[in-house]
Structure 1
């Protein structure tokens, strides 16, 4: 079971903490301090411990082990369940492939569970090792949501920069490559907003949640995080609208270019159609080509065709086709 434990800490409530193993976890009692366990849900041993030894409510267990989750929070008589999402900043991953993090909080115990590595959790772990551990479960929740929010903000800043760059490119020139970039960007925005909007609701609800885990100071702190996430959602909506306008402008430019090309081809076709008719009539004359005995006949035909072209150009200009 040792491998199921990513990290375990016993926090003293004054900023200090020490790492613990499964033997110490089994012997832990609430009077020893705040216990924080960070587990890997992909491992079967984690699920065995949750179901057999954690003592959690069956409904909370089901939510903690669910395959697909959306941000939400549920209050229980003995604790608080919070499910959040964070941007995926792991090497080779797409930030919009948002990572689920499930957290169970009691006044004297915290259980955090993840499928993939979450940078915000690593920040808290480093804080503990540096002597700046959370003082209680509410402080842990604040630090966690703060770390998730800041990283989301960094990704949204990059998205905003990409939209700015694409707006400039579309104004200068339109191409199919830019259309592909805009489509990918809009898809990324939609995927992030899919989880960020309900996460905003979670942060709003946590401010009023009646739980012994959350203090008045925590409510004030969580309100700030909720304001940040609300602004992020608004920024996403703005970026989505700007990307849509860019794509519409790009489609108009590409459509105009194609129409111009088709127009030029139509003019060329209209120009050479009568010439082809004349030369075709001469070619199918089975009784002999007129003027075949005259050495100047070819020159006369060429001059006739040239005159027709000049006449067509004159007519096209009069009717403003060219």
Structure 2
């Protein structure tokens, strides 16, 4: 990656689909075609290129270099500043640790920054180099949002499938394992919704009359993309609620099982309490213990204890304690 530039491409014009180096970007003119420069915002040279090469004002440059962002759309001079989030599909990464992409867009150029690999950006780059990519800033943003939303919905569908499996396993699998899995799934849904909710608001703002990069057909298509995201957020809410119900059900079953064990122990204690009293009383080593000189005393005493246990069990059954 030379000097913080991840990729540079021309989206339309005679050289559409061709890559652009930093040296070529320095001499770029709007008549050559729509320019897209994609930087790594963590690279130490990126700030220099944003201000010197791209000639962005300080406010826009700082917005593209921010470490932590939440999805938003704001007007910036003749262009627009956007921050969007995509599912993290990188190897060994948590999908809910969403990747942020920041963009500055106007009619002649697109400048984006990102630090981690985002598959939606890769798909756009491949389509552009294959000659099948977007031809305008509005089309670029529409394609990017379609890519992001499609992967959001795929991940939400995976969460729904996992939750359905956990609900089925709740009848047979160990409760401790299930509780951990359900809790992890619930945390994922909450983490993803944390970013998708403001992204929904950003999509709604993009549909407003003030956003000038979309034409009428693109706005109609983007309306469907926005509705898809809204349905995905509603599904996330349903997943969160279902996971909560599943957790409560597992907790109730665990509490019920504990109560049954405690009840059984209480019955055992109730049975052996009088037996312990009698055996302790007759076990006192003093003169006058009844039956001390009778060879049948022990047998008679054991028989009495058996009758006592039988009487207790009959009473427990009669009072429906068993």
TM-score (norm 2): 0.94
Q: Which runs of 5+ in 1 are unaligned?
A: none
Residues 12-91 of structure 1 aligned to structure 2 (within 5 Å) = 12-13=12-13, 16-91=16-91
Distance 1:22 1:173, change over 3 A: closer
Comparing 181-190 with 43-52, greater Cα deviation is found at 43-52
Is the contact between residue 42 and residue 65 of structure 2 (CA under 8 Å) also seen in structure 1? no
How many Å apart are 1:235 and its aligned residue?
Answer: 0.8
How many Å apart are 1:47 and its aligned residue?
Answer: 2.2
Residue 84 of structure 1 aligns to a residue whose secondary structure is: strand
| 1: CA distance, partners of 2:53 / 2:275 | 92
| 1: CA distance, partners of 2:273 / 2:52 | 86
How many Å apart are 1:176 and its aligned residue?
Answer: 2.1
How many Å apart are 1:107 and its aligned residue?
Answer: 0.9
Residues 238-253 of structure 1 aligned to structure 2 (within 5 Å) = 238-253=238-253
Residues 1-322 of structure 1 aligned to structure 2 (within 5 Å) = 2-13=2-13, 16-171=16-171, 175-287=175-287, 290-322=290-322
How many Å apart are 1:78 and its aligned residue?
Answer: 1.6
| 1: CA distance, partners of 2:49 / 2:287 | 101
Deviations 1:28-48 (A, max 9, x none): 111111111111112111123
Residue 250 of structure 1 aligns to a residue whose secondary structure is: helix
Is the contact between residue 72 and residue 199 of structure 2 (CA under 8 Å) also seen in structure 1? yes
How many Å apart are 1:179 and its aligned residue?
Answer: 1.5
How many Å apart are 1:207 and its aligned residue?
Answer: 1.0
| 2: CA distance, partners of 1:176 / 1:194 | 27
How many Å apart are 1:225 and its aligned residue?
Answer: 0.9
Is the contact between residue 15 and residue 131 of structure 1 (CA under 8 Å) also seen in structure 2? no
Is the contact between residue 60 and residue 81 of structure 1 (CA under 8 Å) also seen in structure 2? yes
Deviations 1:5-34 (A, max 9, x none): 111112224893101111101111111111
How many Å apart are 1:208 and its aligned residue?
Answer: 1.2
Tell me how large the CA RMSD over aligned residues is.
Answer: 1.9
Residue 73 of structure 1 aligns to a residue whose secondary structure is: strand
| 2: CA distance, partners of 1:190 / 1:19 | 39
Distance 1:143 1:294, change over 3 A: same
Residue 56 of structure 2 aligns to a residue whose secondary structure is: coil
Residue 64 of structure 1 aligns to a residue whose secondary structure is: helix
Distance 1:46 1:286, change over 3 A: farther
Is the contact between residue 15 and residue 32 of structure 2 (CA under 8 Å) also seen in structure 1? no
Deviations 1:178-207 (A, max 9, x none): 111111111111111111111111111101
How many Å apart are 1:243 and its aligned residue?
Answer: 1.5
Comparing 9-18 with 297-306, greater Cα deviation is found at 9-18
How many Å apart are 1:55 and its aligned residue?
Answer: 1.6
| 2: CA distance, partners of 1:258 / 1:52 | 69
Is the contact between residue 14 and residue 135 of structure 1 (CA under 8 Å) also seen in structure 2? no
Residue 233 of structure 1 aligns to a residue whose secondary structure is: helix
Give the aligned length: 322
Comparing 61-70 with 255-264, greater Cα deviation is found at 61-70
Is the contact between residue 17 and residue 130 of structure 2 (CA under 8 Å) also seen in structure 1? no
| 2: CA distance, partners of 1:91 / 1:174 | 29
TM-score (norm 1): 0.94
